[in-house]
């Protein structure tokens, strides 16, 4: 495999794409390290560290933001929003395409329609950036709203700070969106996914230092756990990664036969192929939906004043939702993941359209009549596949919370053993390696595998 990586540098076009990707990713990382003007980021960092120490294994929303922003929360960087407003806009447009006829027609118009949808997505991204940045600037001037103490983070609060922060964060997020687009066009891999993966893996050195301090001691701090536990964790992590790869790569093959037909004087068709139904058709979407849907209402409910005694049960409910290791949080989290797994498939998998396309192309599923019967068959089959994929996704998603609750593993470490982080890292790594392998095979070099080829998520 090392020789295969060395071969990637022997192909001028591939070498150029790799260097462009490294350069653009480096710029995106710089953006996530520049502190927002007017913010005392050292005070913020000390307060966040105090919250982590007092929260123990329960608190998690701040750590969740910090991991997916690539550590930008610690500095309150201008790149804190990163690529997430664009992802949110893409999800919203994708969901609306399934229910709004005008958008659905655009999606079917080919390149022109997709270009128009991409334009709508960028306009919506600007709106989301302005809303989120202005809300964050207002919250920074009132730290108690973020769950921070009675501290002053903004040196000169006021309307001027709100405008400046909104402009800086919006511009930074749009720049990251442009960088992601350039990586997709001129680099290797999907730019959006690659930037998210780099943000997540940028916390890996912190996780390694925490693991070393926990199991071997560091800078005068004695070890608190046995190295045997670390060995078992690494073995468990290897098994989880194997399962994640299987979940990401798994497909259900539906046999497809095509009838013979005359086209331009020649007879074509008569082929036997298959339609791949991905086991994890939803990707990380159910986890992305479920996380904020629990954390934000929980954060609001848990801040109900103690004096309001008749809402004490709601305050307790919010506290349980915020605690990522509580049985109530895990139960609601699991139910939401399963719900959004089926919801995403219901809105994105159009069995009737697939059936019509097969019928128009002269293809059919053996033993199933073309038309509505094929659509019902595919819908029932996809439901069973989604159930298996949803359960697998649920297991991977709950691993970090279980490790944190039962073994008190720090979140920086536990997040690499499952959940959204591991799914994104595995999926993006497979897609990027697949693109590199296609360049190698086109020029008669060996791929990364001795037998077979890498298969991406799509």
Q: What is the CATH number of the domain that holds 185?
A: 1.10.3370.10
Q: Over the Cα atoms of the chain, what is R_g?
A: 24
Q: Does 238 fall in a domain?
A: no
Amino acid 42: pLDDT:
84
Q: Is residue 222 part of a domain?
A: no
Structural domain contains residue 430: no
CB 393 within 8 A of CB 282: yes
Domain-embedded: residue 8: yes
**Confidence class of residue 177 from pLDDT cuts 50, 70 and 90?**
very high
Residue 456 maps to a domain: no
Domain of 167 in residue numbering reads as 1-200
**61 contact partners, CB below 8 Å, separation of at least 6:** 147, 295, 299, 322
Question: How many structural domains does the chain have?
Answer: 1
Q: Which of 97-106, 272-281, 377-386, 394-403 has the highest mean pLDDT?
A: 377-386
Distance CA 147, CA 167 (A): 25
Give the model's confidence band at 59: pLDDT under 50 very low, under 70 low, under 90 confident, else very high: very low
pLDDT, mean of residues 88-116: 85
Residue 219 forms part of a structural domain? no
Please report the pLDDT score of residue 448 as a whole number.
61
Q: What is the pLDDT of residue 165?
A: 93
Q: Torsions phi, psi of 35, nearest 5?
A: -65, 150
Highest mean pLDDT among 264-273, 373-382, 445-454: 373-382
Under the banding of pLDDT at 50, 70 and 90, the label for residue 376 is very high
CB neighbours of residue 281 within 10 Å: 20
- The pLDDT, as a whole number, for residue 174 is 95
Min mean pLDDT across 25-34, 91-100, 119-128 is at: 91-100
3's tokens: 């020789």
Collect all residues with Cβ–Cβ distance below 8 Å to 187 and sequence separation of at least 6: 17, 18, 20, 21, 24, 194
Residue 398 burial (CB count, 10 A): 17
Kindly tell me if the per-residue pLDDT of 457 is higher than 80. Answer: no
Residue 82 has pLDDT above 80, yes or no: yes
**Distance from C-alpha of 301 to C-alpha of 360, rounded to nearest angstrom:** 54
**How many whole angstroms separate alpha carbon 271 and alpha carbon 256?**
8
More confident call, 387 vs 293: 387
What pLDDT was estimated at residue 265? 53
pLDDT in tens, 287-342: 888 887 887 788 788 778 788 788 888 888 888 887 778 888 889 999 999 998 99
DSSP state of 189: S
What the block records as the tokens of 411 is: 């979140």
Find the distance separating the first CA and the last CA of the chain, reported in whole Å.
24
pLDDT digits (tens, 9 = 90+) for 402-432: 888 788 888 778 888 877 788 888 888 888 8
Give the pLDDT mean for 81-86.
90
> For residue 323, what pLDDT is reported?
79
In whole angstroms, what is the distance from residue 246 CA to residue 254 CA? 18
**Which pLDDT score is estimated for 458?**
53
Looking at residue 125, what is its pLDDT? 94
Q: Is the pLDDT of residue 258 over 90?
A: no
Number of helical H runs and strand E runs in the chain: 19, 5
Contact 85, 132 (CB under 8 A): yes
pLDDT score, position 62: 67
Is residue 441 domain-resident? Answer: no
304: in domain: no
Question: Which pLDDT band holds residue 126 (cuts at 50, 70, 90)?
Answer: very high
Give the other-Cβ count within 10 Å of 49's Cβ: 11
Alpha carbon of residue 297 to chain centroid? 21
| Residue of 183 and 362 predicted with greater confidence | 183
pLDDT at 7: 74
CA–CA distances in Å: residue 240 to residues 211, 258, 402: 18, 40, 13
CA dihedral (34, 35, 38, 42) positive or negative = negative
| Cβ pair 41, 76 in contact under 8 A | yes
Please, which pLDDT band fits residue 359 given cuts at 50, 70 and 90? confident
The percent of residues in the chain predicted with pLDDT above 90, rounded, is 20
- H-state helical runs in 156-302: 159-186, 191-201, 204-215, 227-249, 285-302
Cα–Cα distance measured from residue 379 to residue 236, given in angstroms and rounded to the nearest whole number: 35
Output the pLDDT for position 273. Answer: 86
Class of residue 180 by CB neighbours under 10 A (exposed 0-12, middle 13-18, buried 19+) = buried
Distance in angstroms (rounded) separating the CA atoms of residues 293 and 287: 10
Residues with Cβ < 8 Å from 163, sequence gap 6 or more? none
* Confidence bin at 142 (pLDDT 50/70/90): confident
Instruction: Say if CB 75 and CB 40 are below 8 A apart.
Output: no
What's the rounded mean pLDDT across residues 265-293? 78
Does the pLDDT at position 98 exceed 50?
A: yes
pLDDT over 90 at 168, yes or no: yes
């Amino acid at each position: 495999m090392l020789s295969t990586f060395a071969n990637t540098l022997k192909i001028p076009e591939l070498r150029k794409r790799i260097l462009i990707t490294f350069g653009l990713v480096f710029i995106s990382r710089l953006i996530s390290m520049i502190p927002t003007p007017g913010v005392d980021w050292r005070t913020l960092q000390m307060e966040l560290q105090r919250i982590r120490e007092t929260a123990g294994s329960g608190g998690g929303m701040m750590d969740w933001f910090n991991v997916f922003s690539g550590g930008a929360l610690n500095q309150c960087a201008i790149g804190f929003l990163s690529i997430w407003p664009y992802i949110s806009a893409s999800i919203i447009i994708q969901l609306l395409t399934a229910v709004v006829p005008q958008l659905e027609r655009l999606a079917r118009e080919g390149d022109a329609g997709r270009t128009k949808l991409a334009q709508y997505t960028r306009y919506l991204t600007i709106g989301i950036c302005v809303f989120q940045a202005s809300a964050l600037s207002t919250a920074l001037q009132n730290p108690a709203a973020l769950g921070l103490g009675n501290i002053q983070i903004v040196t000169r609060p006021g309307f001027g700070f709100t405008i400046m922060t909104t402009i800086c964060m919006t511009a930074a997020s749009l720049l990251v969106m442009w960088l992601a687009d350039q990586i997709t066009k001129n680099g290797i891999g999907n730019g959006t996914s690659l930037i998210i993966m780099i943000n997540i893996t940028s916390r890996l050195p912190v996780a390694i230092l925490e693991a070393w301090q926990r199991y071997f001691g560091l800078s005068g701090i004695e070890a608190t756990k046995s190295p045997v536990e670390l060995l078992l964790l690494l073995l468990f992590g290897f098994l989880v990664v194997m399962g994640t790869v299987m979940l990401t790569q798994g497909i259900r093959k539906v046999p497809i036969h095509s009838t013979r037909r005359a086209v331009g004087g020649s007879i074509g068709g008569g082929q036997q192929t298959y339609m791949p139904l991905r086991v994890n058709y939803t990707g990380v979407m159910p986890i992305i939906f479920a996380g904020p849907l629990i954390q934000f209402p929980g954060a609001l409910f848990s801040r109900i004043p103690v004096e309001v005694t008749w809402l004490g049960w709601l305050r307790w409910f919010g506290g349980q939702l915020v605690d990522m290791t509580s049985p109530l949080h895990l139960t609601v989290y699991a139910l939401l993941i399963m719900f959004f797994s089926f919801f995403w498939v219901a809105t994105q998998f159009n069995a009737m359209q697939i059936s019509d396309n097969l019928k128009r192309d002269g293809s059919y599923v053996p033993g199933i009549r073309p038309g509505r019967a094929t659509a019902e068959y595919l819908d029932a089959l996809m439901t069973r596949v989604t159930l298996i994929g949803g359960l697998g996704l649920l297991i991977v998603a709950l691993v970090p919370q279980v490790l944190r609750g039962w073994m008190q593993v720090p979140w920086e470490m536990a997040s690499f053993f499952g959940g959204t982080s591991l799914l994104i890292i595995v999926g993006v790594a497979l897609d990027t390696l697949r693109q590199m392998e296609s360049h190698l095979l086109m020029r008669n070099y060996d791929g990364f595998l001795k037998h077979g080829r890498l298969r991406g998520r799509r």
